[in-house]
Chain A
């Protein structure tokens, strides 16, 4: 079944949000990525047809954005923020911990295909650094113990209660706190 047949209803709903079809490009690429873990060439061609674009028009857009994968990544994609604000509170150390614990460098995946590591720029969680994103979830104020627990949770259950949100920082100490 092609991409457009498989997600017919979802595609129609997305298209209904925009007066110009091409605006649906990024949302449709997300659907394709959710389907396979990355955006396949056939999905790109299918999306081009749906939006009345040429495949190069889809390709030129997809390559501009960092969140689309053009090849498979691990089941859990660890993205550690290395920007200044996280670096001030220890993100370089977190990267070293992950490299040691998983035996992979940024841009690599573990042999079992479970984990991939990327080093990324700011994820807008500067007050709770060091932090990382794994797939759709943020993990903040990382310590080595917390990292161990997250990796263990993901291995055993596929999710971790240590993910954060809804975001509030600092947490109010009491109801009458003024700041």
Chain B
């Protein structure tokens, strides 16, 4: 098994490490904060992060330092940092581990980000179901506040940064940054039209940065060891650092594996996750969470970085790698994901709200062997009329399972429809909403 240096999961791999403040400090925790506050100018922290090449780990992969640089420099009023801990993308379960096992690493990243962008308040918007993680974070905030790492006049430097945990209440869309802000303002989590972007009109209409948990957890390490060190890891120049890949599905050892970006799908699945659970061959892979198009065994040697996965027709997204074995129905898999998107559509945009329902009904009919051949064109036509026609990227996400399974496993759809036609089972299905 290949060995490499762990960054984010390193502390928690040590026997007896509890994630307490004392444990974190023993491993060099909060040194980056001591090195930065009042000693490195906030703009220089931003420059370091930009030089590191760090890109967002939540899904879109936007360069973090560049995002911070969009905040208006001349603006004198309040600014906000929001840690996006609304981990809800099917296939993804890394942020929960980072928060529950090493909460101070995340908190140090949040305070560093607050310092860099000039925010005196940071909110951790955590998905409501993660009650334990929110309790652990709250305890860690109390510890950090008592030690002078969070709050007013941090470490006597005159820098203020308070951090609060804010629990969501079970809505996937609140992981979308503008929906997150709406929800944090106490409203329905409906995405906002962009522009304006949160960098200028964010929380309470003030300049705001929204960063994922894993993104923020990388910051102390970039400060401690320098941007050049980070930029040399992975697949420079565009995919630097490590990723915590979440492997699920039909593998022997599912779990979170931190590897340098650029590792192949084959290495991750067969060497780290132990290969296929049964002896059946691998049939399909989702490389970046439910929003990412499916890949096939022909893509096993694709490098897991932003560029190579995109070139293969998918996306690295949230790092959720789901593996399916031979024998899995791809029509069923597409339906299960589509049911998720139908359930979670916020309802703001008609193409997504109505289209997701239509897609689910059509897939259910095909799977129940009541499909017609023209349903396949209907599915593709619906996808074409949803993607790119919604306020947020949810529309693009929900068509990915259908478009990619139809591209790679169209025959499975055709066989189900052929069976329906042969048995003369075609009849209208009652419409259900």
Contacts and interface: CB of A to CB of B under 8 A. Distances in A.
Query: Bound pair: A and B?
Result: yes
Interface of A: 17, 19-20, 22-27, 29-30, 51, 60-61, 64-68, 82-85, 87-89, 121-129, 133, 136-138, 165-170, 172, 175, 177-179
A52 to B, nearest CB: 11
A62 to B, nearest CB: 8
Contacts of A167: 93, 96-97, 100-101, 132-133
Interface in B1-31: 1-4, 6, 12-15, 19
Contact of A19 (B78, B101, B187, B247): B78
Given A23-B166, A26-B128, 7 more contacts: A17-B166, A19-B78, A66-B171, A83-B336, A121-B340, A126-B91, A128-B254
Interface in B298-351: 320, 322, 324, 328, 333, 336-337, 339-340, 343-344, 346
A88 B328 contact: yes
B189 A64 contact: yes
Interface string B114-135: 0000000100000111111100
B169 A29 contact: yes
A51 B186 contact: yes
Q: Is the interface of A mostly helix, strand, loop or mixed?
A: loop
Given A19-B78, A127-B255, A26 B168 contact: yes
B13 A67 contact: no
Interface size class of B (residues with CB under 8 A): 35 or more
A65 B128 CA distance: 10
Given A19-B204, A30-B167, A166 B101 contact: yes
Interface in B236-275: 246-250, 253-259, 272
Contacts, number: 175
B394 to A, nearest CB: 14
A179 B272 contact: yes
A28 to B, nearest CB: 9
Interface of B: 1-4, 6, 12-15, 19, 78, 87-93, 95-97, 100-101, 121, 127-133, 136, 164, 166-172, 183-189, 204, 246-250, 253-259, 272, 290, 320, 322, 324, 328, 333, 336-337, 339-340, 343-344, 346
A25 B2 CA distance: 49
A168 B101 contact: yes
Nearest to B92: A124
A25 to B, nearest CB: 4
Contacts of B253: 170
Given A20-B204, A65-B168, A88 B87 contact: no
A9 B58 CA distance: 36
A175 B15 contact: yes
Given A19-B204, A83-B90, A127 B171 contact: no
Contacts of B247: 127
A10 to B, nearest CB: 14
28 contacts: A17-B166, A19-B121, A22-B186, A25-B186, A26-B168, A60-B188, A61-B188, A64-B346, A65-B171, A66-B169, A84-B336, A84-B340, A85-B248, A121-B339, A125-B96, A126-B92, A126-B248, A126-B254, A128-B254, A137-B132, A165-B132, A166-B101, A166-B132, A167-B96, A167-B132, A175-B14, A175-B15, A179-B258
